[in-house]
Amino acid sequence: MNDREALLHHLETTLGAGPADAARLDSVLEQAIACLGCTLGTLHVLSPQSGLLELRAHRGIPEKIVEVVRTVPIGKGMAGIAAERREPVQVCNLQTDTSGAVRPAARQTGSQGSIAVPMLRDGAVRGVLGVGKHVPYDFTAAEQTLLLEAAAAIARALPF
């Protein structure tokens, strides 16, 4: 089984076992990070009540940054921009990026190569999946496609 198949199989079996609760979301985030050789990641779910992206799972993110990214408005930071555009947003080196997609606090994660992909179901944003590495890195088209597939699988498992 290749990395793509392993990740999608893990998502299917983990999310098919019951509701997309915190433990299952932690597990699928961990698997996505490992599959792509990343060191950190976040999984935000869009709250229908507030319209904000709410952090549901994270790995490798300093606690003081967790508080900053606990909620993210659509259009702000990499996650918010990915949700707004409904497409992946990536930077090769988060530490030196000047595109405007990176929020100042994000640099404190130590991440460099980073990507955020929208979790879409029936064309609607349900959340954002983000992963990063501690080295400069451009995610390939195949890696972006894999993350979008994983994000769609997660979106299908969400209750709304």
How much is the pTM? 0.91
Domain positions in the chain are 3-157
Q: How far is CA 30 from the centre of its chain?
A: 11
Asked whether 59 and 38 are in contact (CB, 8 A), the reply is: no
Q: In percent, how much of the chain has pLDDT > 70?
A: 89
Domain 3-157 CATH superfamily: GAF domain (3.30.450.40)
- Digit-coded pLDDT (tens) for 132-155: 998 989 999 999 999 999 999 999
Taking only the tens place, the pLDDT of each residue in 17-70 is 777 888 899 999 999 999 999 999 999 999 999 999 999 999 999 898 899 999
Q: Calculate mean pLDDT across residues 98-118.
A: 74
